[in-house]
Amino acid sequence: MKVFSGNANRALAESVCEYLGLPLGKASARRFADQEIFFEIRENVRGEDVFIIQPTAYPANDHLMELLIMIDAFRRSSARRITAVLPYFGYARQDRKAGPRTPISAKLVANLITEAGADRILTLDLHAGQIQGFFDIPTDNLYAVPILARDAKEHHNTDKLMVVSPDTGGVVRARSLAKRLDAPLAIVDKRRDRPGESEVMNVIGDVSGHECLLIDDIVDSGGTLCNAADALLGNGANSVTAYITHGVLSGGAVARVTSSKLTELVITDSILPTPAVQGAHNIRVLSTAGLIGEAINRTASERSVSSLFD
């Protein structure tokens, strides 16, 4: 097998290759003067099992187009199998018709990747499980919960922990972490009037005297997390730490988090951390290289990936 990377998160791809004991494939993606993307493979891939690591994070459209062009290049170079490794799947939040005359963009993107020539998809913590069904090719959705649970055990007193879902839609994810930590579960009931804005309404569960762990798949503006932290502390929680898989952190999100009452925001490197994220005093980044690397290794050797989470 061979592993290649686009420009979205080369650092993660290098860490994955280090885990696998493989060199990163030789290729380059550059731009013409008008910003058209040109991709070139600089080694033979005929008959190879190729893995392309490319999260479609900001700028989402550029990284998505780069991924499609890369897949096409490998298909035309006679790669035996092409697996698109998407640590972060952009457009996942548009997974249904949220209103009349609106698109289901996650399905459109799934179609684009499939038609470009991908044979398999490997992704991490999809925003909604049904997105796996949007692909007409085998799709493996990895879970970051084991990584988050291990870190929580290392940094917190498990006797006082309470896992909190920031909304009703994330209860399944929160329950999974709570089970691994043998901790109780609470829910923050919120109302969202417009995308990117939320208002905390109520805390379901007694959080008094607990160290609360908020868990979610995506943090974008940071408003939901900060409001939830205020509500939990207002209901008697001792502290609030957030564990989030994908640190989108757009706009003024980093400043919002650093000035909030959150003790710490822990994210993974599924999205390349910006200098602002790296310099924030209360944001910490966990590596997913081992998880993704092992999933790639098992996919290449036709072994079970789901057993990683048993």
- The annotated binding site for ATP is made up of 34-36, 93-94
Q: Quick check: is 179 catalytic?
A: no
- Classify residue 76 as left (phi > 0), alpha (psi -120 to 50) or beta: alpha
Token couple for 13: 């791809």
Asked if 48 and 59 touch (Cβ cutoff 8 Å), the reply is no
Token couple for 87: 């640590």
Return the bridge partners of 50, or none.
2, 82
Catalytic residue among 97, 153, 190, 261: 190
Instruction: Give the annotated binding-site residues.
Output: 34-36, 93-94, 127, 167, 192, 216, 220-224
Instruction: Give the annotated binding-site residues for Mg(2+).
Output: 127, 167
| CA-based nearest residue to 208, from 185, 183, 229, 235 | 235
| CA-based nearest residue to 79, from 108, 116, 130, 111 | 116
Asked if 276 and 293 touch (Cβ cutoff 8 Å), the reply is no
Instruction: Give the annotated binding-site residues for D-ribose 5-phosphate.
Output: 192, 216, 220-224
| CA-based nearest residue to 86, from 38, 48, 119, 126 | 126
Give catalytic residue positions: 190
